[in-house]
Chains A and B, each alone.
Chain A
Amino acid sequence: MLLYGLKRLLHVIPVAFGVSIVCFMLIHIAPGDPLAAILPSDASAELQAQMRSFYGLDRPLIVQYGLWIWRALHGDLGVSIATGRSVSGEIAAASVNSIILAIAATLIGFTLGSFLGFLAGVFRGGLVDRLASGISMLGVSVPHYWLGMVLVIVFSVHLGWLPAMGGGPGGSDGRAVGWDYIRYLVLPAITMSVIPMGIIARTIRSLVADILSQDFTQALAAKGLMTRQILRHVIRNAAPTAISVMGLQLGYLLGGSILIETVFSWPGTGFLLNGAIFTRDLPVLQGTILVLAMFFVLVNLIVDVVQGTIDPRIQRS
């Protein structure tokens, strides 16, 4: 287990290194002088020179990367052009909201998806299966940002039950996690849950159908051990895959939350990223992408190791 974890970690390091290079290069593929990208347009000549030497822009690319990654590893991702505040601070504040949203969405999506997938797998080929497959097909095909708008139209504009947008009282600064906060969370979380729901439903359906058609469950049924025992078997055999799919989806949602956070003005990392794109605030853009991508790599690693622990067969591949 420890050895396997260590192996996965050593496998992940080159990937993480590559990810950091891609993020570093973002500043350099941006059109125009990189300095213009990280400084306000009215910066004084003195400040320009200062920043040029701070970022090492007069040095070779490899030195610049070294300086940048060294600072990043120490939590220094530069300063926001728009607000003048530290990028890492902004990201830290936004991350909490994003993580809460992603977890809420994953839990909703996992519950609904498992339920749908389980029904479809048990009654495979029947009407319930077709209905569930149809719903999960709609789930993976729907443009979720549009679904968010539709939910706002129904529940906020028409019925007035829930707030349309924002991050609750206090916005992104004070996080009083209470009933008010949850009221703001409901719509974005439900919208977001549609993405993993379809995928989890499909996964669970094929797992359940697979296990039910295997010899050992057939044998259990033949022995007269009825539904409860078979159910236990199904759950025990499907759990490792289901959990790993859920973990991966959590990672995707964290990294891919920009559209939904924009629709609902939810003060998370995606919303931060959207603002940075509009103001062309490249330090924030670069930092946020680095953090989100690294987080995704980390989630993948954890899922791998956890799955390898639950199901040792996977370690061999």
Chain B
Amino acid sequence: MAAIITQDKAMAVATVARSPGYWSGVARRLSRDPVALVALGLIILLVAMAILAPYLAPYDPTKASMIRRLKPIGTPGYLLGTDELGRDMLSRLIYGARLSLIMGVIPVPIAFVIGSAIGIVAGYVGGITNTLIMRTVDVFYAFPSVLLAVALSGTLGSGLGNALVSLTVVFIPQIARVAESVTTQVRRLDYVDAARASGAKGHTIILVHVLGNVLGPIFVFATSLISVSMILASGLSFLGLGVRPPDAEWGLMLNTLRTAIYVNPMVAALPGVMIFLTSICFNLFSDGLRSAMDVKS
């Protein structure tokens, strides 16, 4: 009997058929979604544009000129015209991708890490700890996100750092709430009980059995926040709370060009088109990711 099993085992180990894992399934489904792929492609292009800005931009984005202010779109040499200080719009839009993407994207991963940690601990531990953490989260959740972002950066003062802090604080409670509810659901499942019954310690169970099953849904939610974050971040700059002039950032450009709508409306509206485009791409990609991660569909 033992000899048979040994032989059998030797064969089995050599030829175990591996099923593709969950994430390769997600990648496969995502690769069949043309809309999500186009959105992802555009996001990659935008990031590349931000990184390669010095090589792509025809002019220095901060070089002003009083004699060529507010040239219309299509002016020879200034493809997208010039702004109210005579700076080349194309160059500023290309350079603007840098700060706009930093402000819009960075707060989400930071909030993802902090919010997930808070929510998963609250959801797994439960009881009084959960109540204390979640009631605190509720307090921040009780502010409309625009209001909280404006309140924090308005008090802290303008600047890139303060804007990043404010936006991160806005998103932490939202992510923590999702993380907590997903974790609470997973914790009630029998496989977590089975793991506890095998004598595993809490942190082992969280690492092996909880994280793999909750990070996916939290991640999808977080990607859906990037679009919100882009609009909110540019909104802060638009209010004069984000980056300071003369830095190129789409929201700030929209703000300084507001007075130009009577002179050259098309140029004035350009930075908003960039924000809109970026926001749509992130939204579409997030939607595609959501359905690709839904095993049932």
Complex A–B touching at CB under 8 A: yes
Count of inter-chain pairs, beta carbons less than 8 A: 135
B275 touches A152 (CB 8 A): no
CB distance from A299 to the nearest CB of B (A): 10
Chain B residues positioned under 8 Å from A203 (CB to CB): none
Nearest residue (CB) in A for B135 is: A14
A141 touches B276 (CB 8 A): yes
Interface segment out of the listed B58-66, B105-113, B186-194, B233-241 = B233-241
CA distance A27 to B231 in the complex (A): 27
CA distance A251 to B141 in the complex (A): 13
Interface segment out of the listed A87-95, A119-127, A172-180, A252-260 = A252-260
A149 touches B269 (CB 8 A): yes
B200 located at the interface, meaning its Cβ lies under 8 Å from any Cβ of chain A in the complex: no
Which of A30, A138, A263 is B156 in contact with, Cβ under 8 Å? A30
Q: How large is the interface on B (under 10, 10 to 19, 20 to 34, 35 or more residues)?
A: 35 or more
A31 touches B138 (CB 8 A): no
CA distance A292 to B271 in the complex (A): 30
CB distance from B133 to the nearest CB of A (A): 12
Q: B-facing mask of A249-273, CB < 8 A → 1, else 0?
A: 0011011101100110000000001
CA distance A282 to B143 in the complex (A): 18
CB distance from B239 to the nearest CB of A (A): 6
A256 touches B146 (CB 8 A): yes
Chain A interfacial residues counted at CB < 8 A: 51
A221 located at the interface, meaning its Cβ lies under 8 Å from any Cβ of chain B in the complex: no
CA distance A158 to B268 in the complex (A): 14
Chain B residues positioned under 8 Å from A142 (CB to CB): 276, 279
CB distance from B91 to the nearest CB of A (A): 20
B14 located at the interface, meaning its Cβ lies under 8 Å from any Cβ of chain A in the complex: no
B195 located at the interface, meaning its Cβ lies under 8 Å from any Cβ of chain A in the complex: no
A292 touches B147 (CB 8 A): yes
A277 touches B239 (CB 8 A): yes
Most buried by B among A21, A276, A282, A289: A289
CB distance from B172 to the nearest CB of A (A): 13
B234 touches A273 (CB 8 A): no
B280 touches A31 (CB 8 A): no
CB distance from B205 to the nearest CB of A (A): 27
Chain B: residues with CB nearer than 8 A to chain A? 135-136, 138-140, 142-147, 150-152, 154-157, 227, 231, 234-235, 238-241, 251, 254, 258, 261-262, 265, 268-269, 271-273, 275-276, 279-280, 283-284, 287
What are the 8 A-B residue pairs with the smallest beta carbon separation, nearest first?
A146-B272, A18-B139, A255-B144, A256-B146, A153-B265, A277-B154, A255-B147, A141-B280
A277 touches B234 (CB 8 A): no
B142 touches A141 (CB 8 A): no
Chain B residues positioned under 8 Å from A189 (CB to CB): none
Chain A residues positioned under 8 Å from B234 (CB to CB): 143
Given A255-B147, A256-B146, check contact A19 B269 (CB 8 Å): no
Chain A residues positioned under 8 Å from B254 (CB to CB): 145-146, 149
CB distance from A44 to the nearest CB of B (A): 26
A29 located at the interface, meaning its Cβ lies under 8 Å from any Cβ of chain B in the complex: yes
A141 touches B283 (CB 8 A): yes
CA distance A278 to B255 in the complex (A): 14
The DSSP consensus for interface residues of chain A is helix
B143 touches A255 (CB 8 A): yes
A149 touches B272 (CB 8 A): yes
Sample (24) of A-B pairs whose CB atoms are under 8 Å apart: A14-B135, A15-B138, A23-B151, A137-B280, A138-B280, A141-B227, A141-B276, A143-B231, A143-B272, A145-B238, A146-B272, A252-B144, A256-B145, A259-B146, A259-B235, A259-B239, A262-B239, A274-B239, A277-B150, A278-B240, A285-B151, A293-B144, A296-B142, A297-B142
Given A141-B283, A258-B146, A285-B154, check contact A146 B275 (CB 8 Å): yes
CA distance A147 to B275 in the complex (A): 11
CA distance A97 to B63 in the complex (A): 42
A258 touches B139 (CB 8 A): no
A220 located at the interface, meaning its Cβ lies under 8 Å from any Cβ of chain B in the complex: no
Chain B residues positioned under 8 Å from A285 (CB to CB): 151, 154-155
Chain B residues positioned under 8 Å from A15 (CB to CB): 135, 138-139, 142
Nearest residue (CB) in A for B257 is: A149
Chain A residues positioned under 8 Å from B142 (CB to CB): 15-16, 18-19, 293, 296-297, 300
CA distance A91 to B147 in the complex (A): 15
B239 touches A22 (CB 8 A): no
